[in-house]
Amino acid sequence: MIDALWTGWRSQYLAGLASHSAEDSLNQESIFTQILKTNISDEDSFIVHRGELVFVILNAFPYAVGHLLVLPYRQVDDLSSLSAIESLELWATVTRASEVLGTVYEPQGLNIGMNIGRSAGGSVAEHLHVHIVPRTIGDANFMAVTANSKTISEPLNVTAQRIRQCWLDTTSP
């Protein structure tokens, strides 16, 4: 028998998924574009790095502590829509973000991937983004199996501060 574990914070996320059809999503601004246009501070929006053409933001619904998203400022929905310069900076930033996560969290591995299109699991299908998830042995503990929930041991503002500081303190080789 599986007991229910309250995860009320996910209701906002799930409601957002249900309220948008795939067709509507392609014709509207993504949550990322909306964040950029509101001029919310990087601290309040959890943006941890800004490049010339791409930026890095914490996932608001992380799979693990340090879960980052790397994406272009320009809203595109697939890799072929990126310019050559955007693509180059995107992948260089993914590499740099991986290095920063390695320094800050010392993970034993990383999951790096993309979900292109809603049917692939892309909850923000209208704005291409790369997930980087630090992993350690045992991080998928019993909670995911018994309660269909994940435990996140660090608040987003602390995670953002740690990553942002490391990004500033270290330089890429």
- Active site residue ranges: 129
Give the containing element (helix H, strand E) for 57: strand 54-58
d(CA 79, CA 137): 31
Closest Cα to residue 53, out of 77, 86, 30? 86
Q: Which residues contact 21 (CB under 8 A, 6 or more apart)?
A: none
Query: What would the two tokens of residue 160 be?
Result: 């953002």
Identify the bridge partners of residue 54 per DSSP, sorted by sequence position.
72
